Amino acid sequence: MTAHIVCVDDEQAVLDQLSAQLSRRFGATHRVECAESAEEALQLIDEVFAAGDEVELVICDQVMPKMKGDRFLERVHETRPRVMKILLTGQAGLDSAIYAINNAGLHCYIEKPWEVEDLNLAVENLLTQHRLRRELEQHHARLERRSRELHGLHDVGLALGSALEPEQVRELVAEAARSLAAAPCVVALQTGNRAALWAGSASLSEDRREDIEAALVRLRGEGRSGLPPGIPAARAISLEHGRRLFGWLLLPDGAEPALDTREFLSILAGQAAAALHHMELLEERVRGDRLATIGRMIATIVHDFRNPMTAIKGYGSLLEEDLSAERRRQYARLVLEETDRLGGMIEEILDFTRGERTILRPRAVPVSLLADAVERQLATELKSRGVTLRRELAYEGEMVLDVDRLTRALLNFAANALDAMPSGGTLTLASRREGARIELIVSDTGVGIPAELQPRLFEPFFTHGKPRGLGLGMSIARKIVEEHGGEVRLVSSPERGTRVTLSMPLEPPALAVSPRRRAGER
């Protein structure tokens, strides 16, 4: 871009003098143009700017035909306010100079005839002012741009912090890098044992990409940092966190990025590497939690299966003795019940892991049958723990339900009640009718549940104060109740115990009822 000084006067001799004087002093940096009228000068100025150059200074005489100097400078100020202005005038033109100062942004007026050095000094000062103002504006523009980029980096950092997959990190980094560098860029990254991810449109051949990817895999495997092969250090920025390399941000094309641009790109690379490091840590934690969960699940299954298997073994050994036919039938029926219980537990675990809704097998049964089943299956544990079972069945009529599954739910709630009474106590099974609903209640005199833990009791895998157990019992029990169209309410207070209420419809309309059977019929 060429800088111009435009001189305007209707006398050719004055223009020749100005042109010669200014060319000698400022010709190395500025081109001096002349116009003999204000109209010609305005056209000349428009042409200079249209050509992509700039007029930095206008020097004009006040006394000219048609448009006077002060009015001309006013026109220039309206369209090109950054142009510096000098008005040449005699003493009699002082009023015009004042008008130009007030209305045309006049910077200086010089009386005719002028001294060469005075005019040179005035021109030099104004050109310096113009240069400093332009540099200040450019610096201000850079600061504004950097401020926007910093805000952009902040927003990208927030987005990276919530990113869940490396692909999201790749896209965020690629877009932000293009904006910061204002040039084509390439992002190559890798996490865990996944294949390397690429983004960007810079001109890298397939062979170079393969070399870069191989170097990345090798360096990560060796636990070292380094630069990609064939890329100068000034054009490669490492995505590194805690001396762990995750990839590179590459700018293979165009001019080398400026120092401040590299600094912003380094901040971006650091944010991306931190996000990828967090993802790896999270994956390791999830993997560890899964293994621990599997271990707890196996321990729980083994523990839960031990009781019915012990009962089956005991009843089976009794069948070898000399027993009456009635007693043999009784023991055989108990063996079948425990076998069914094992099968039900297996189905329950499979249903939970699959997340499928269980097909219920409802039938009409009296409430006393449920209480009998719970009491029979808990008999051994009640005795060993010194817990007394109390039955308060205000309602003993029939309910329509899947006996095996609801018995399992009651057993789960009862098992938690027993755990809350390590030194003995009272376990109560109660029932009552409330309109069209039946309430089955399991309560204990145990230690109670802290208020802050109660909202989490029905979360899968949540356990508190139990050395064994996966934390599925309460969740599965509530699922069974809700499948019957019921709901579970829990009230507990420390040292006073816990009461769990199962509010069940008498005959849920959504359940297909099988033909009624006699109580106790299998």
CATH number of 3-138: 3.40.50.2300
Question: What is the model's pLDDT at position 517?
Answer: 40
Question: What is the model's pLDDT at position 344?
Answer: 65
Question: What is the model's pLDDT at position 512?
Answer: 42
User: Which CATH code of 3.40.50.410, 3.30.450.40, 3.40.50.1580, 2.120.10.30 fits the domain covering 150-277?
Assistant: 3.30.450.40
Question: What is the model's pLDDT at position 351?
Answer: 60
Question: Are residues 181 and 261 in contact, defined by beta-carbon separation less than 8 angstroms?
Answer: yes
Closest by Cα among 58, 78, 72 to 4: 58
User: Are 150-277 and 357-505 the same fold in CATH?
Assistant: no
Question: What is the model's pLDDT at position 453?
Answer: 84
pTM over 0.85: no
Is 3.30.565.10 the CATH number for 357-505? yes
Question: What is the model's pLDDT at position 414?
Answer: 92
Write down the residue that tokens 């040292």 correspond to: 495
Question: What is the model's pLDDT at position 514?
Answer: 40
Question: What is the model's pLDDT at position 468?
Answer: 46
Question: What is the model's pLDDT at position 208?
Answer: 86
- DSSP string for 361-408: --EEEEHHHHHHHHHHHHHHHHHHHTEEEEEEES--SEEEE-HHHHHH
Q: Where along the chain do its domains lie?
A: 3-138, 150-277, 357-505
- Mean pLDDT by 10-residue block, N- to C-terminus, for the chain (522 residues)? 94 94 94 95 95 95 89 92 89 65 79 90 94 92 84 85 86 86 84 81 80 89 87 89 88 83 88 88 82 71 74 82 83 82 70 65 91 89 90 93 90 89 92 93 91 80 56 80 91 89 80 41 40
Helices within 27-111 (DSSP H only): 38-50, 69-79, 94-103
Closest by Cα among 422, 409, 390, 278 to 351: 409
Strand partners, 433: 438
